[in-house]
Each structure stands twice: as C-alpha cells, then as structure tokens.
Structure 1
Amino acid sequence: MAIKLLATDLDGTLLRSGKPVSAGNIAAAQAAAREGTVVTIATGRMYQAALPVAKALGLDVPIITYNGALIKSTSGKIYYEHYLDEDICRRITDFCAERKWYLQSYSGDNLYYSDSGEFSKRYELSQKVIGEEVGYAGMRKQVSRMYKMLIITAGADVTQNWMAELRAEFGDSISLTQSAPDFIEIIAPGVSKAAGLQKLADILDIDICETMAIGDANNDLPMLRAAGFSVAMGNAADDIKAVTNAVTGNCDDDGWAQAVNQYILKQ
C-alpha cells in the first residue's frame, strides 16, 4: 500500500545533534512530496522551534508539535489544540517549587523558566529559542493555553524517581512522556504523537494504514505503534526497534533519507 502520510520525529531522527537538516534528508522529503506523500513533523518541540525545520524542508504542511497538543501548519493555520488544565498547571508549579525542581512551561507557544541557568541555557541552545525567567510565582500566572510543561533532571535515575512522584500525586490528570533521559514532559491526558497522527490523518482523509512514522525515542512509541508502517532509527534503543516494522540507518548517516528512499520511493 502506498504511503500517503509520513510523520517524522526531529531530534535523533530527521536532525543530527545540533545541526540543521541535511541536504540528503531535504532531498528525500521533497522527492516524497513530489510522489504525493504528505511529509509532516511530529515532535515534542514547541511550534516556534519546529517551524524553522519544517521551512527548511521547503514544504507547507501541518506539523504536530508539543507531542500532539498543537497541530499547526507552517503558514500558521491551526488544525487542533489541546491544553493542560489551568488548575493542574498551578498545582504542578507548586509541587516543583516545594522540591526546587527545575521547571519550564509553554503557554501560548511562549517559553517560561522557573530559573535561568545551566538547564535553560542548554535548552535554548539546542532548540534555538529564547525563554523568559519568571520564577515559580510567575509561572503560576502563565497557565493559559498550556500545551506542555517540562522538568529537566540531573539524569535518568532521577528522572524515573521524579516521574513516580508525579504519578502518585497527579494520577490520570496528566500524561508523562520522555524525549530524552533527563526530560519529564507533562501533557494533557489523551495527548500523544499517536493521537496527533490519527487526527491529522482524519483531517487529510487518509486511512491510518496509509501512514508511516519514523522515530527514535520513548515519546515516539505511541506513534510508531499507531502508524500503518513504522521505522526505528539505527540509533534508537532496542525497545524502540522491537515495536517497529523496520530499522534504518543512524541519524548522523542520513538514516532518515535511507528509510524514505527504501519504503516510500522504493529505491
């Protein structure tokens, strides 16, 4: 069956670490588009951080951002939004403040930090965005149109312990996912890349069986399971590779373009 919709993760998938989209990946994306495949991004990134990548591909398509909480085209058309509850956002802020956990939030596609330092500077550099330090008190006030909240930890072991604390406190009122070992991404229940892929497929009148997804991280798992055909990057962990239909080359070797050439362009 022909692939009509391709959804791709960014970091570790389409993008090499700290680098723009490669010429090989751009060429593959444009070739797929010429063959009639809608090529879209599905990322945990905020919209303003994903937009330059979408533009680099040279395609005006809806992009799935904030792990599925916002679907918005490169030309600015909003297709779907799903926010965190404002009271829950305030409770999460207080919860983190009591423990002195670093927190950042994304309200109306604006980025706010509990404090500026190593974590915020590293994030700004990797995402090429600028946030604003407002403290926990300021974050309590910036809770409208909250697509996502993000806690950054000192490492993977800390992350798992803190996620357990969050689940114990907030239960089913939030969903947790990860795009990196030191990230705890908090989104509304029902939000995921898989749900975003399904919604976009419905909007475009494409059957989910005619979709393909490429990813490498834990927050890609729902999307990889939901897509009609799924591909894990060669640099993905073994548990990611175990659920996909195929495995391609590493991100740094244009494994993304290899997958598009093999499974969409049939080269």
Structure 2
Amino acid sequence: MNTKYKMLALDMDGTLLTSDQTISPDTAEWIKRAKEEGVHVCLSTGRSFESALPYGEELGLSTPMITVNGSEVWRAPHRLHQRSLMDPKLISDMHAIAVAEDCWFWAYSVERVYNKDHWTDSIEGKEWLKFGYHTEDDEARHRILMRLQDMGGLEITNSSPHNLEVNPQGINKASGIRKVCGLLDIDMSEVIAVGDSMNDLAAIQAAGLGVAMENAQEVVREAADFVTSSNDKDGIAEVIRKFIFHM
C-alpha cells in the first residue's frame, strides 16, 4: 500500500450518510476500494451501537467501531472493548436542567435510548452513556451550556448547531480513535478523521489528517487540514481518492 494512512475514522450523520440517511453507491464503492488496499475503516459516531451497526454491515465492515461519541469502543461488531459510564447523579442533574428549560432531551443507557416522551423513574439502576439536549432557542441553549459547565466532569459537544451532547469528561471521538489505534497497532499520525460537527472536533485535531465536510460547522472547517465536498456530494469518496489513491 502506497498510502501513509492506515485508518479512516468516519463520522456518520452529515458525513458518511447523505441527508436522507443513506450511503451513496459511489461512496460505498470507494470505501470498498480503500478496504481492499488494507485501510481500516472505522465508524466513529454519536449514535448507539444498534443504530450504527446496520450501516457497518451494509459496508461489510468487521473492523473496530466507536459509538456514543467514544463512550463505547468495539473491538469488532458485537465485541465490546471498553465502555465509559456516566455517574447517575449527573444524569439526574442534567434531566432536571432539561425539565426546567422545557426542551427536547434524550439519554443513552446501555440497554436503550430514553427521551422526553419516554423517561424512566429509576435513573440510579441503569448504566448511562450520554445525555443530549435539543432546542432552537439560542438563549435557552446557552443557559443550559453554562449550567453544564458549572457542574464539571463533563465533555460537552454537539452533533448539530441546535443540540448539546454530553459524555464523561475526557471521553470523545479522539479518545476512542486512540484506543482503536492501540488495538490495530497504528499511530494517530496514520489516521484520517472526517466529520462535520463539534463532536468530531477533537478527532479532527488529533488525527494525522483532519477533514471537515463542506457542510460542517464553521469552527470544524477552520480546524481541519482539508475541507472536502458535502455529505450529499460524495465528500468521503473524494477524500479516499485524494489521500489514499493520490488521484
């Protein structure tokens, strides 16, 4: 293989997936070619394992996966390597903030996803991975952010300009990619990380090549080494052609 890059770490929503939540044939074909060249293709997503897995299967991936923004690292599909849980007390406090602001919220536990319409009375008895808020009220979102920052011990990002995603402090896609590099015996300098949102920023900054989608949030584009085409214009295929096949 004549590429210095040995791993492609791909965000899913807004990156690998088009606006209608599919993988385009061209992108799928170039991912297949990258795999044939020996490049490890790793899904790196804020989604749960159950939500991400069908896309990995569609691409024929048997490689490690990073789910829930790095709170779970999978050695291979269905083979968990590491899981980072949140203190139930933090979940309870974040839930109280969401109720006070009357905004949409959700939380990932190991067993399932809860949300504003389907919450639980037994926060203490569950294994929690991530909490999220969504509001298009900029002032409300800023108030939530301030309260979260005051709580401490949290990794706060987003997967769209209108949401906030919260993981345990120090847990993000970059920490997940480092763990995968350890499993595959490769260096972060040999990784291409691609994404579009704040939850991709740490990975884009830490990877050998950090790539933002054309549709990425501005701060993410500014931090990237390269800006590729949008998720609806086969931006991933462009990255593979340019940096793996030098076309």
| Length-normalised TM-score, structure 2 | 0.92
* Number of aligned positions between the proteins: 245
Structure 2: which 5+ residue stretches go unaligned?
Answer: none
Residue 164 of structure 1, aligned match among 146, 152, 165: 146
The Cα of 1:140 is off from its aligned counterpart by 4.2
Change (3 A) 1:154 1:245: closer
- Please tell me the residue identity of whatever aligns with 1:18: D
- Please tell me the residue identity of whatever aligns with 2:88: E
- Please tell me the residue identity of whatever aligns with 2:217: A
Whole-angstrom distance in 1 between the partners of 2:25 and 2:137: 33
Please give the residue correspondences for 1:64-79 in structure 2 after superposition, counting only pairs within 5 Å.
Answer: 64-72=66-74, 75-79=77-81
Q: Is 2:132 the partner of 1:150?
A: yes
Q: Deviations over 1:73-102 (max 9, x none)?
A: 553000111011122222222333344333
Whole-angstrom distance in 1 between the partners of 2:103 and 2:33: 45
The Cα of 1:233 is off from its aligned counterpart by 1.1
Q: Is 2:184 the partner of 1:204?
A: yes
Given that 2:91 and 2:123 are in contact with CA atoms closer than 8 Å, whether structure 1 keeps it comes out as no
Given that 1:156 and 1:181 are in contact with CA atoms closer than 8 Å, whether structure 2 keeps it comes out as no
Residue 195 of structure 2, aligned match among 207, 215, 225: 215
Q: Deviations over 1:147-182 (max 9, x none)?
A: 1011111344432232112222x1x22221101122
Which stretch has the larger CA shift, 232-241 or 43-52? 232-241
Whole-angstrom distance in 2 between the partners of 1:27 and 1:166: 42
Whole-angstrom distance in 2 between the partners of 1:114 and 1:228: 39
Residue 237 of structure 1, aligned match among 207, 217, 221: 217
- Please tell me the residue identity of whatever aligns with 1:262: K
Match of 1:22 in 2: 24
Whole-angstrom distance in 2 between the partners of 1:238 and 1:151: 21
Given that 1:107 and 1:146 are in contact with CA atoms closer than 8 Å, whether structure 2 keeps it comes out as yes
Match of 2:55 in 1: 53
Please give the residue correspondences for 1:13-162 in structure 2 after superposition, counting only pairs within 5 Å.
Answer: 13-72=15-74, 75-115=77-117, 133-134=118-119, 138-141=120-123, 144-162=126-144
Given that 2:103 and 2:133 are in contact with CA atoms closer than 8 Å, whether structure 1 keeps it comes out as yes
Match of 1:185 in 2: 165
Q: CA RMSD in A?
A: 1.7
Change (3 A) 1:149 1:250: same
Q: Deviations over 1:207-258 (max 9, x none)?
A: 1111111111111110000001111111223322222211111111101101
- Please tell me the residue identity of whatever aligns with 1:148: K
Given that 1:10 and 1:43 are in contact with CA atoms closer than 8 Å, whether structure 2 keeps it comes out as yes
Match of 2:246 in 1: 266
Whole-angstrom distance in 2 between the partners of 1:11 and 1:139: 31
Whole-angstrom distance in 2 between the partners of 1:113 and 1:139: 12
Change (3 A) 1:152 1:209: same
Given that 1:15 and 1:22 are in contact with CA atoms closer than 8 Å, whether structure 2 keeps it comes out as yes
Match of 2:4 in 1: 2
Whole-angstrom distance in 2 between the partners of 1:210 and 1:64: 17
Whole-angstrom distance in 1 between the partners of 2:217 and 2:135: 20
Given that 2:194 and 2:212 are in contact with CA atoms closer than 8 Å, whether structure 1 keeps it comes out as yes
Whole-angstrom distance in 2 between the partners of 1:230 and 1:67: 17
Change (3 A) 1:40 1:177: same
Given that 1:216 and 1:236 are in contact with CA atoms closer than 8 Å, whether structure 2 keeps it comes out as yes
Match of 1:130 in 2: none
Given that 2:69 and 2:172 are in contact with CA atoms closer than 8 Å, whether structure 1 keeps it comes out as yes
The Cα of 1:142 is off from its aligned counterpart by 6.2
